[in-house]
Structure 1
């Protein structure tokens, strides 16, 4: 279940049009295109019309979001990326097909891939943000018809559809022979806030990486992700067959390299403004989530909802869950807690420190070298400790209980 929600969270890219009005022809063409060239032509037309037409802006923002994912997937495929299928590396979960002839990869080229991905996400967020809050949006889209080019062949094949990609993230592999079931939703204005929020969330992740010099981690462990891309330790540490099938923790050599990665996350800050920007992206995500739920709770219809409110009864076909008033109120409370942490009004507890907590605003705005292990054990976060209101386990437990058996993480990845 959690893998399915994470797949949706990372890979859903959503549409637009004026409710009950005809979907723009260009939007139809974009969402049903069978080639990258046709898709990009339609997207360019929508972008040109975006300033005067909210429906075109909404569709263009959605197209820009999924082409951001395509930029990331294409860059990874080009260099023979093999997914670790680990929740610990969320940006690295795209089910990129095998590339028998990968190009060599350098640290600078990997940073460039992240920059291109992040900048296209920003373009999407700006475009979606230009849609008026009260725009009457409604578009019916079958996600089996919407896809991204995972292998850079210029085609949008059935096994590259959103539905197939979500299924592959649940299974762990793409099966071209699979007949993906229809998964149709009617996306409305609320879903635009949702998608924009996810663009901000992914930008925060990318900016955090780019804020630091992680060359040592790249040189010392990234051959587990790119086993044939001529990284410095490939000849020494990668098995001759280059095999990386299965979960990261099912392979001894991959697990060893993951330990190396954890050890090598001792990253100097090289672009402090990006770490500061990461906090702003997260705050904007929180704002957009509030806008999303304000819009959802005002809806009076119940038509193939991507994210339904408590008043829109029925099990969601993607998650198999219904949303109740308890979950919505708990989620809004969670947003307040997260905002308080990011603004420094509340402090994050550390398991071995009493009387003081971590000021997360200062963690982002006063960046120092990031050492993962020392942050976990304590010394790495010592500069950010201070007295004040510290969140307790009871605060977290109270929120957790409201989400019931499906669990907080499942709802959080869906709710954004």
Structure 2
């Protein structure tokens, strides 16, 4: 599988289990090896009950809540006959949801309800993971071929719904492969910060959508994602077979609908507090990444690490990459850069404006209608232009060079 696809998939589906801390709580490993949703949910309920007195149960419960958030999203998409565009241009829509021959109709309000449930469950996960003591001694081996998510709402967690199978599917396109190769890791306290950070990242994405009224985009283009869910233009624009084989740019009608989507991203703000919260989630993600690396650097073992530090030698079985001091220093520089942008201390450059930059703190905190095309061409970002320190291409290029041949994006998806 490609490094990029593996990392993106793992960012969306990986859950970090932990060891049991006592007889009062169920074995956390059972939560991540369950073959049915009922068994998984009963174990999660028991872990949540034990969590107040057992750090391992807190950690496991938070991971399980993240898991069920992804299942809420996958189930909602499957229920309405979602067909993945297999495109990184729509990152929340990458899950390889199985075909549904009898999808239910979907409305704009129904789609928002799915996003709200997904986002709220992530918030619960982040809060639970955030309550794990910093020094908790946690760790368990996990084979990703046994860790799964119910993609089709049949109550089962089948081999082709495992994390490893989904990762393999995302790397090559098509349906998940139940024969995906084993990937076993031992997850520890540092990885809890990693997972919590990804929960914050996904909350920021979902929250940004929910901050706006995107009904026109939904009505005018989402039949490319839900071709049989009775969207307003299905009868007029979806081909007779109603199918979507291949990627986003594999057919004329899909290209046309994607152009429609871009054109229709002119979204009024309806819940400004969600756009403001999106910035806070991204800031929290940055903080958690720093905590993650602080914990990683303190580790003295080297036991099947999900995210190894420079002192933990050897290439990762997930990425084939070895982490060196230069990459860690570059990542911290990238975190500082992102924080400065989100706090408005550094301004984001625009290609057509030489002496001013975009204040991203004000972009989130003083929300105005979001128009994608006019943001690219300039008019929509004019209210956020200021004089001050502007990020230069050389600053970012320097960070890119430090990451080497694998590139910044590969490490960013892995490091979080």
TM over 0.5: yes
Q: Provide the rounded CA distance (Å) in 2 between the counterparts of 1:378 and 1:272.
A: 22
- The match for 2:92 is 91
TM-score, length basis structure 2 = 0.98
Shift of 1:157: 0.2
Q: Provide the rounded CA distance (Å) in 1 between the counterparts of 2:68 and 2:335.
A: 29
Q: Provide the rounded CA distance (Å) in 2 between the counterparts of 1:324 and 1:371.
A: 40
Q: After the TM superposition, which of the residue ranges 244-253 and 299-308 deviates more from structure 2?
A: 244-253
Shift of 1:180: 1.9
Question: Is contact 1:144-1:182 (8 Å) kept?
Answer: yes
Question: Is contact 1:73-1:150 (8 Å) kept?
Answer: yes
Q: Provide the rounded CA distance (Å) in 2 between the counterparts of 1:33 and 1:311.
A: 34
Matches within 5 A, 1:8-19: 8-17=10-19
Matches within 5 A, 1:9-408: 9-17=11-19, 25-176=26-177, 178-408=178-408
Flag the 1:22–1:335 CA change in 2: closer, same or farther, 3 A: farther
Flag the 1:283–1:332 CA change in 2: closer, same or farther, 3 A: same
Q: Provide the rounded CA distance (Å) in 1 between the counterparts of 2:24 and 2:210.
A: 38
Deviations 1:335-380 (A, max 9, x none): 0000000000000000110100000000000000000000000001
Partner of 1:139, secondary structure, is: strand
Deviations 1:244-300 (A, max 9, x none): 110111111011000000000000000000000000000000000000000001110
Q: Provide the rounded CA distance (Å) in 2 between the counterparts of 1:26 and 1:38.
A: 13
Shift of 1:24: 5.7
Question: Is contact 1:17-1:54 (8 Å) kept?
Answer: no
TM-score, length basis structure 1 = 0.98
Shift of 1:10: 1.6
Q: Provide the rounded CA distance (Å) in 2 between the counterparts of 1:102 and 1:305.
A: 41
Shift of 1:137: 1.0
Partner of 1:75, secondary structure, is: helix
Flag the 1:372–1:23 CA change in 2: closer, same or farther, 3 A: farther
In structure 1, runs of 5+ residues without a counterpart are none
In structure 2, runs of 5+ residues without a counterpart are none
Q: Provide the rounded CA distance (Å) in 2 between the counterparts of 1:381 and 1:314.
A: 45
Question: Is contact 1:18-1:135 (8 Å) kept?
Answer: no
Question: Is contact 1:205-1:278 (8 Å) kept?
Answer: yes
